[in-house]
A and B are shown apart, each in its own frame.
Chain A
Amino acid sequence: MQMLTGNLSPSEGSISICGIDLVDQPVAAKRHIGYLPEHPPLYRELTVDEFLRLAGRLHGMARTPLQQAIDSVKARCGIADTGKRLLGSLSKGYQQRVGIAQAILHDPDVVVLDEPTVGLDPIQIRDIRSLIRALGEERSVILSTHILPEVEAACDRVEIMHLGRIVFSDTIAALDEFTRGLALQVGFRHPPSSETLAAVPGINRVEALGQNQFLLGRDPANDPTDEIVRRSVLEGWGLYELSPPHSRLEEVFVHLTRDESGA
């Protein structure tokens, strides 16, 4: 993230933003980026308006369009009434919003957000997520986060990095496919023994979640669903739940990073 925005120089490889090389033409490339670091870069002694005006001028905006842009981003980020307050006196949620306002103020093509919902309460998190969703409709948003449900809620594409390497890179839709090939959550009224379940063709791992529920690891090539339903009817297991696990991305993440570190 820091490399994408010019805060760190890459030791090898190259970065281009909208086709402009970041190392060769840093100023031209950075014009297309809006960046909100993990820790919003706010000057505590400035007011919200002063700060946004500074951010706009740093991006070379002229006075009149800047004032209009400030009014419109303040409305979008829900900070319209805070213009005269000092940044240092704002709550964490408002500071985060000012940070986002600063990142989208100059209408960049790419918005980079690093952990934008850390330390916010659930209502603020929902607001910020819907704001990110809305931003994603009109421009590219790169969102970095450790909160996996956030990715599912807000993103179209996922890249998982582990130890500096990309271990997964695909769309959320493909991720669904991928997870469906990994695990299955089942519940039985009269559960069979774990050994019986493990013997079903296509199941390679059985994990008991409670008295009646199991998490089944499955072979991606061989779908055991039909077999489970059939056996349940034949042997009276009383199947009442059969679903992919809820935290799908988490499963993939654990699977991928564990495989990598084991390898």
Chain B
Amino acid sequence: MIFTLARKELRSLFASPLAWVVLAVLQFVLAWIFLMRLDSFMELQPRLAQLANAPGVTEVVIAPLYSAAAVVLMMATPLLAMRLIAEERRNRTMTLLISAPISMTQIVLGKFVGLVLFLLMPVVMITATGMILKVGAEIDFGLIGANVLGLALLLGTFAAVGVFASSLTRQPIVAAIVALGLLVASWLASLANPDPSSLVQMISVTRRFESFNAGLVDSGDVIWQLLATAVFLVLTIRQLDRDRLVGQAI
């Protein structure tokens, strides 16, 4: 049932130009970064060769690609998520889902899974871009694996925040701004306050990704990221249930 809904969301995403534009722009930006990084790696290579424990091509070229993707997708996910619930409300199609014999949890998870499946596409694309280097260099697959896992978990949290923002309103653009505000505020706050024990760092959505980006898979980070995702999904379900009690949000 969840996958029926997820498939419908994917179909609707691809029926609009937004999804295609996001994918194209993302790939263009990342390809640019990839080539710039590769260029500077070529310049640095003679000097790196003299170091005892020099960083490899994966660390210098591919890992920054993932952190760039994290930032770009932080901007793009709210735009992709904004329609999920807000537009169903505005077009009054939500009734179809609510009157069907499925629970609110399934509706929310269906939409979330649909969005996450879409967001995994850029992850695959980035990984494929990095793999090109296999032609002429040794690649650290462990580091790439940590990055893929970290980015996928991070995108899950982004998607959950986006879905939650979409459940608060019936104007998609308002939902996008709310989600963008939440994510960027958390990101900027943690940039401005680097003390790792501070509260800002504790609740920072993006900080956990930094250790994945460096190749460190900490089960605590995995659990934190999954919990953050779950919290926003539960909030969404509660929000929709509340709507049924008091009528729909404006």
List residues of chain A with CB under 8 Å of any chain B CB.
2, 5-9, 11, 26-31, 33, 35, 37, 39, 41-46, 50, 54-55, 57-60, 102
Name the residue on A nearest B107 (C-beta). A58
Residues of B within 8 A of A45 (CB): 11-12, 15-16
**Closest 8 pairs between A and B when the two form their complex, measured CB to CB:** A41-B96, A58-B100, A45-B15, A30-B101, A41-B93, A35-B99, A31-B101, A5-B99
Number of A-B contacts (CB under 8 A): 75
Contact partner of A27 (CB less than 8 A), chosen from B97, B103, B247, is B103
Residues of A within 8 A of B244 (CB): 6-9
Contacts of A27 in B (CB 8 A): 101-103
Give residues of chain B (114-169) contacting chain A, Cβ–Cβ below 8 Å.
none
How many chain B residues touch A (Cβ–Cβ < 8 Å)? 24
Q: How far is the CB of A112 from chain B (nearest CB, A)?
A: 9
In the complex, B51 has a CB within 8 A of chain A: no
- A45-B15, A45-B16, A57-B4 known; A8+B247 contact, CB < 8 A: yes
Q: Binary interface profile of B, 82-101, with partner A (CB < 8 Å = 1, else 0)? A: 00000000011111111111
Name B residues whose Cβ lies closer than 8 Å to a Cβ of A: 1, 4-5, 8, 11-12, 15-16, 91-103, 244-245, 247
**Min distance, Cβ A20 to any Cβ of chain B, angstroms:** 11
A7 touches B93 (CB 8 A): no
B100 and A37 contact, CB distance less than 8 A: no
Q: Report the bound CA distance from A8 to B94 in whole Å.
A: 12
Quick one: closest B residue to A8, CB to CB? Answer: B244
Shortest distance from the beta carbon of B88 to any chain A beta carbon, whole Å: 9
Q: Nearest-CB distance from B17 to chain A (Å)?
A: 11
In the bound complex, do residue A55 and residue B96 qualify as a contact, i.e. CB atoms below 8 Å apart? yes
A–B complex contacts, Cβ < 8 Å, 5 sampled:
A6-B99, A7-B99, A30-B99, A50-B11, A60-B101
- Residues of chain B within 8 A (CB-CB) of A55 are 96, 100
Contacts of B94 in A (CB 8 A): 41
Contact A58/B97 with A27-B102, A46-B11, A50-B11 known, Cβ cut-off 8 Å? yes
Interfacial chain B residues near A42, Cβ < 8 Å: 93
B106 CB to closest chain A CB, in angstroms?
9
- Measured CB to CB, the closest approach of chain B to A198, in angstroms, equals 49
- B102–A7 contact, CB under 8 A? no
